[in-house]
Amino acid sequence: MSKPHVLITCAVFPETIARLQRHFEVESNQDDAEWSPAELIRRLQGKQGAFTTGSVRIDEALLAACPDLKICANMAVGYNNFDVDAMARHGVTATNAPDVLTETTADFGFALLMATARRITESEHFLRRGEWKKWRYDMFAGAEIHGATLGILGMGRIGQGIARRGALGFGMNVIYHNRSRLDPALEAECRARYVGKEELLKSADHLVLVLPYSPSSHHAIGAAELAQMKPTATLVNIARGGIVDDAALAEALRNGTIAAAGLDVFEGEPTVLPALLTVPNVVLTPHIASATIPTRRAMAELAADNLVSFFEGKGPITPVLPAQGATK
């Protein structure tokens, strides 16, 4: 019996490729070439499975042109690159990689919060330019973190991890808003209090975004929401690009509507809005919240697990369901 054919659309650990080669006929993209939609469709001809990342769009046009495709396994917790409803119509299974990156991403979210609040990037650039000549009482004086109010928009696994770090590690007052309220026992574990979105915006000293991207969350933070925040507040986005109106944020940072922002995700990434590159009070990182070697290995292995389990007839391990909505 011939092996199923699988396309790996991105560079990945050699050990992951070797493992998949034991089960499948594999074509891999270790050069990490950026394929056009037409080139991706061409390479998927005759392939039953695909190992994907969030930059690989699986949509109606591709599905119609790739009738052999049976499963796409995303090496990511998010899957807004998948048209899940179209995949269901075409009988193509979608999987993601939840849980394995929760703690690492929560670590990074808190690191980005701290760098933003304490003006780490801004002060480093100052030092590197040779402008540090003397000490001054207000030099790069930032915002307190310990004892401050931490607001979390989106209270999935990663949001809960950030809440625990804030409450238990820094004695922060944690408030959150979510589509649905957490179970009281989980709220108590996170030491977090549920509030409406308006109260969240007005009360948070530091607001962290960890909600999934969907049409309903597009520009969930725009000019109107930024105007409700404290002028001393910081905003951190480790969720998805498009949740924040980047142009409105750049203007808010420039005119002092809020004090600072930390961004790991952007609209239209890897392109970054030029206006964000010209304001000093923003920390920018290239979508690396899950970037530790152990976590990235775990993400790759879970994507591989999904492919192997599916083709062995056991079903996918972490399937994404139509209209389920991505989770953080």
The answer to whether position 156 is within a domain reads: yes
Please tell me the total count of domains within the chain.
2
202 and 95 within one domain:
no
The answer to whether position 185 is within a domain reads: yes
Q: What is the pLDDT of residues 203-257, one digit of tens each?
A: 999 999 999 888 899 999 999 999 999 999 999 999 999 999 999 999 999 999 9
262 and 136 within one domain:
yes
59 and 143 within one domain:
no
The answer to whether position 328 is within a domain reads: no
Q: Which 3 state secondary structure label does DSSP give 166?
A: helix
pLDDT of res. 214: 86
Element (H, E) at 188: helix 184-190
Average pLDDT, the chain: 96
The confidence band for 321, taking pLDDT boundaries of 50, 70 and 90, is: confident
131 and 88 within one domain:
no
263 and 192 within one domain:
yes
CA distance 303 to 282: 33
- Which residue numbers are catalytic? 240, 269, 287
pLDDT at 1 over 90: no
CA distance 227 to 230: 8
Burial class of 293 by CB neighbour count within 10 A (0 to 12, 13 to 18, 19+)? exposed
242 and 174 within one domain:
yes
Residue with tokens 């109260």: 199
CA distance 19 to 311: 14
The answer to whether position 325 is within a domain reads: no
The confidence band for 323, taking pLDDT boundaries of 50, 70 and 90, is: low
CATH number at residue 307: 3.40.50.720
pLDDT of res. 322: 75
267 and 124 within one domain:
yes
298 and 277 within one domain:
no
| Residue-number span of the structural domain to which 166 is assigned | 102-284
50 and 159 within one domain:
no
The answer to whether position 159 is within a domain reads: yes
Q: What is the mean pLDDT of residues 11-33?
A: 97
The answer to whether position 84 is within a domain reads: yes
The answer to whether position 298 is within a domain reads: yes
273 and 136 within one domain:
yes
306 and 200 within one domain:
no
Q: What is the pLDDT of residues 119-135, one digit of tens each?
A: 999 999 999 999 999 99
189 and 148 within one domain:
yes
